[in-house]
Each structure stands twice: as structure tokens, then as C-alpha cells.
Chain A
Amino acid sequence: MHLALLAGTLAAAELDLSLRPEVDQVLDPVASPLPYQGVGAPVSAGLRWRGRGPTWALGLSATPSRWTPQGVGPRVYSFERVDAVTGETTTVLVPAPKLAFSGDVHAAATWDLGPLSLGPRLDWQALYTSGAMSMGQWAWSVATLGLRVEARAPWRSRSELGAGLTLPVGGVVTRIPEDYDLVFPDVGTVGAFFQQGSQLASWGHLQQAELELWHRVSLSPIWSVGLDARLRYSRLVDTTTAQRLTSSLGLGATRLLGV
């Protein structure tokens, strides 16, 4: 997202790195009646360059996070173990796993139209946990084709304010099937997930909006730093409607390349 910055001074290319706290919330009735919340710090990188016509952008981020069900404290389960030979009984305490992993990849091409930039954007968001949600495997994959709109304006000296909005027009949604079964005789778990859980989705089934706001300050002809906030809400409408809300706030640095 930082790749949209400083478009007016965009050189051959910009490389962007950022680290920011993120809160990710999911409510998927297939897995749980409880909303789960993950807190992590995505590591993001992106590259942006101007072609003959549009400005191209590629970006990716990866987030390990700790997930817990909202409104429920740390969960520890108690299991008795008995030594088969001695008969000695011990109690084993098993904490509920918490780790989840998410990743985002996007590619966009935007054309300048006055103060706005406009163009198509491809996004893929994935989220996976083995154990954090209902102590089982759970995954979410949403690949979308959408429209990206950006607006930028100079603010004070050497700084810029900007906003971006991405709205998908359709995509491919993959969720854990409601019958849970991801094991078929000749298909692996990952293959079964995408084969069984995928469906094409238009706006009626995939309602999503991503809003970004940023403030960027140029430190030198090469470096700039900035503060950005992002909010994305996804709603997958089905017999069991799932929701995801991701919000982040953080710092990023941009290096102009080819200067």
C-alpha cells in the first residue's frame, strides 16, 4: 500500500518496507460460534514502478499471529495419563494452541486521472491455523479482482496525505467445507481444501472493502518515512456467512530506486 506514495516524484521504482501491529478478527460459523482475534506484526514489502502508461505495483506481507477466542481467557485442557505397566496416574495439562499465519499478495496497475489514480488490482489473502481455532485446522483464502482508487495531496512541505480504496468485483473464495471433510481417497489435504472449498463469488457473495490512509514525509531525495492505517472488512455470504476484519497501524520506509 505504501507503494502509492510520492507518486508525483516517482522515479524508476520505489521499494517499500514496513512493520506494523495488526489486529485480525474472524467469525466463521463453520469453525466456531466465537469470534477469534489475532494480534501480530506483518512484515510487508512492495515494489512500485512507472511503465509507459500505468504505474505498476507488487506487494506482499506475512504475519505470524497469536489467536484467541474473544471473551474467553487462556484455555488449558486436562488429560489423565496412566502408565500401563505401573498404573501410575499423571495429569497432563495441554494449553490450547494459538499460532496462526496469514499472508497477502497483490498486484495492481493504476493510471493517473487528475488527482486520482485508478485501475485494476489483484489480491490474494490467505489465513491458516492448525490448532488455534476450535483446536483444529482452519483456513481461509480469498482471491479477488477489484478496482483500486487512490487520492494524494501535498501537505505542508515535503509531505503528502493519501487515501486508497479497493473494492473487489469478484473472485474465488475458498473455505473449509461445512461438512468439514478434507480427506478424500486420492487428494491431499491442501488439494482437497481448494478442490472442495472453492467457489466463484461475485459482489453478492463476496463483500469486501479495504481503506487505507497515509501520511508520508520525505527525508531526502532517496528516503521517505510514513505512518499508515489500513482497515479491511470481508463478508463471505453463504449458508454460513463468515466475516473478517483486519486493521493495522504502523510505520513504513520507502527507498527510491534509480535516483
Chain B
Amino acid sequence: MLALALLTGCLQPLTGDSPGEVFEHLWTDFDDHYALFEAKGLDWEAEGEAWRDAAWAAEDDDALHEVLTGLLGPLNDNHVGLFVPDGETPDWRSGSLNGQHQEDFALEVTRALLVEELPSPHRAVTVGWAAEGVGYLHVAQMSGAAARAAEEALAQLDAADALILDLRGNTGGDSPAARDLAGLFATEAAPFVKQRHRELDGPGYSDFEVWTVEPRATRARPTALLTNLWSISAAEWCTLALRTQPHVTQVGVTTAGAFASTVLRDLPNGWLVGLSFSDVRDAEGVSWEGVGLAPDVEVPSGQADLQAGEDPVLAEALALLAAGA
């Protein structure tokens, strides 16, 4: 055991963990791998210069946290966050979600408004009837299992004349699952996303790869797609895919605007930072990063509605579908 103990710590960190070294590591990591500088029109060199002196002068963790959040703030990217593992410092995000909490949607309130809730094959899927002839499906996460369960659940709604797909509070997951879920409601094959990555040996990018929604719906039923600020990442991929379908209407409020693939990265001092490593556009090449996908029909709601047991977004969707949207 002594021999084993002597062999611990043989591999050394790539860099030191002083505030200045942490700053330089983070800045370089983003310079090498962050994929959205071009889409966001951000001059990373200038951002680094603006904060470098303060980083090297930082004397404690609080000062370093202020510097790093100052550096990352202009990215306006909900996938970029700073996480301090001291069990006290709240998580910080660079985009519109920072300090925000979902106050306009609670699944239990919406479930109580359903005419009938049907058995669900998966805890992330809620299925039922929102009104006579109007099927309701809420998907809480984007995973292969949830997408398969959604297909199974949707089979119970075959008699529906119209459908509601609720992606409020869906914080994302796998992009293939998002494509597969969208396919359950699609009747037309259509490209919906173009994605590219940073080249590893320079500032350039790979070619765009195109993702296409594969139609699996047997007929085009009027469909309301419900979104809010907490429809994030892969949930926004699904939204992009369904916006290609003429029989789908997006209802609610604008999504988070965070489409990129993301990874958490250690910093030399043990903190974690979220980094977006792909550039995701819609089929026309437009980036909605930091902007989000605005609904066709905007319906703001809030905590007062939830406390009253009401869901104005669901109500508006039902009205639209009844009117033949």
C-alpha cells in the first residue's frame, strides 16, 4: 500500500490554479473550442484584454468569480455557466436564464385541467385529452426513451382531430431524440437544422451537416406546440423541426435560445464552466442563439395564473384548434 501511495500524484495539472492562470486557461479553452463567436459577432480577443489585468490582480475567489462572469457575460449563451463547487455559490449562467426560475408553467396545474389523463409509458411523458377530440402530450425531457414513450403514448390519441405537444419546461437532452419526437407530428420531410463545429487546428469551422425531420405522422392534424423560456436546447431543435410543418402553430412565449451542443469543463481550480462547441442554425442558416424562437401566437402567463389553477397558454391553444388553426 505504501508503494501505491507513493505513486499517487505522479501526473501534474496542465497549469497552476492562481486566478490569473485560471483566467488564461478559460480564455484559451474558449478561444480554441467555443463555436459561437462568429454567430454572435463577438471579439473574444477584446473581451480577454478587457478582463486580463483584473484577473491577474484578483486576490480571492470572489474577485475571480466576478472577473470570469464578466468575461463570459457578453456571450449571452444559456449553455455557458460557471459552477463553483463549494456548496454555497449559486450557479451562474451567461444568458437570459441567469437568476430566473420557471414561474409560468407547472405540469400539475395543466394535468388538473385535462379532461382525461391516460396511462403513460414513461415518467417524462404525460398524455391525455385536453378537450373533446384534442389530444395532449407533454414531454419533459429529450431522450431516446422519452421519444419512444411519446410514440407509444401518441398511439392512444389516434382518434384525435387535433393535437397539443407541450414542450414547456423541457430543458433538452439528445438532439436525435428531438428529431424523432418531431417526426411523430410531421407529414413532410424537411431540413430543419444545420450544425457545424470548430476546426481543431485553427479558427475555422467544419462544413455544416444538415438534419432533416423524417415524417412519421399518418395524417396532418392541426397541432399546437406549446413553448416557454424553459424550452431549451434539444427542445428548441424539436421546435425548429416542427416549424417546418404547415399544420403546426407555436403558442406560448419565446424559447431559451440555446441550441448548441455543450460540455462542462473543469477549470484548474476545480470550478466548472459550460462551453458550447457547435454552431446550430435553422435550415436557412439563421442563428437563433441568444434570441430564441418566438411563438406564432404569444401568450404570456405567470405565477398568479398557476396559483389560480389556470393555464392561459393551454386555453389559447384549445381556442386556436377549435377555430381550425
* Min C-beta distance of B142 to chain A, whole Å: 11
Cβ contact within 8 Å between A33 and B176: no
A76-B86, A78-B88, A84-B303 as given contacts; A34 in contact with B209, CB under 8 Å:
no
Residues of B with C-beta under 8 A to A91:
90
Inside 8 A of B315's CB, which chain A residues have their CB? none
- Chain B residues with CB under 8 A of A22: 4
Determine the residue in chain B with the shortest Cβ distance to A87.
B303
Those of B51-110 within 8 Å (CB) of chain A? 83-91, 101-106, 108-109
Closest residue on chain A to residue B26 by CB atoms: A33
* B221 part of interface (Cβ distance < 8 Å): no
For the complex, what is the distance from the CA of A183 to the CA of B195, rounded to whole Å? Answer: 11
What chain A residues lie within 8 Å of B174 (beta carbons)?
A: 183
B257-289 interface with A by 8 A CB criterion: 261, 263-270, 272, 277-278
Residue of B nearest to A187 (CB): B176
Q: Provide the residues of chain B in CB contact with A184, threshold 8 Å.
A: 209
Given the known inter-chain contacts A71-B13, A77-B87, please indicate yes or no for A249 contacting B261, CB distance below 8 A. Answer: no
Instruction: Return the contact of A134 from the options B4, B175, B209, B265 (Cβ within 8 A).
Output: B265
Complex Cα–Cα for A10 and B268 (A): 51
* A96 interface contact, C-beta 8 A: yes
Q: Give the distance in Å from the alpha carbon of A133 to the alpha carbon of B264 in the complex.
A: 9
- Check B7 for interface membership: any CB of A closer than 8 A: yes
Query: How far apart sit A231 and B307, CA to CA, in the bound complex (Å)?
Result: 63
Interface centre among A79, A133, A185, by most chain B C-beta atoms within 10 angstroms, is: A185
Q: For the complex, what is the distance from the CA of A245 to the CA of B13, rounded to whole Å?
A: 14
B163 to chain A, nearest CB (A): 24
Bound Cα distance from A87 to B102, whole angstroms? 9
How distant is A72 from chain B, measured CB to nearest CB, in Å? 4
Instruction: Give min CB distance, A134 to chain B, whole Å.
Output: 5
Q: Across the two chains, which residue of chain B brings its CB closest to A246? A: B7
Contact A23 B277 (CB under 8 A): no
Chain A hits for B84, CB < 8 A? 77-78
Complex CA distance for A91 and B88, rounded to whole angstroms = 9
Please give the distance in Å from A85's CB to the nearest CB on chain B.
Answer: 5
Is there a chain B Cβ closer than 8 Å to A116's Cβ? Answer: no
C-alpha gap A132/B101 in the complex (Å): 27
A69 touches B103 (CB 8 A): no
> Of B15, B211, B277, which is within 8 A of A33 by CB?
B15
- A-contacting residues, B174-231, CB 8 Å: 174-176, 179, 197-198, 200-201, 206, 209, 211
On chain B, the residues within 8 Å of A231 by CB distance are 7
Q: Which chain B residue lies CB-closest to A37? A: B8
Neighbouring B residues of A80 by C-beta, 8 Å: 90-91, 101
Residue of A whose beta carbon sits closest to that of B179: A185
Q: Are A35 and B261 in contact (CB under 8 A)?
A: no
Closest B residue, CB atoms, query A244: B11
B1 at the interface (CB under 8 A from A): yes
Partner of B91, one of A75, A77, A183: A77
B278 x A181 contact (CB < 8 A): yes
Q: Is there contact, CB below 8 Å, between B270 and A34?
A: yes
Segment 174-188 of A: residues with Cβ below 8 Å from B:
178-181, 183-186
Known: A29-B14, A181-B277. 11 other contacts (CB 8 A): A25-B7, A25-B8, A26-B11, A27-B12, A71-B270, A73-B270, A77-B272, A83-B106, A85-B307, A179-B206, A180-B261
13 of the cross-chain contacts (CB-CB < 8 Å) are A25-B7, A26-B11, A27-B14, A31-B265, A35-B11, A37-B9, A70-B11, A71-B13, A81-B101, A82-B101, A134-B264, A136-B263, A179-B197
| Residues of A participating in the B interface, judged by any CB pair closer than 8 Å | 21-23, 25-27, 29, 31-35, 37, 69-73, 75-87, 89, 91, 93, 96, 133-136, 178-181, 183-186, 229, 231, 239, 243, 245, 247-249
Closest 6 CB pairs of A and B: A75-B85, A72-B270, A82-B101, A76-B87, A35-B11, A32-B266
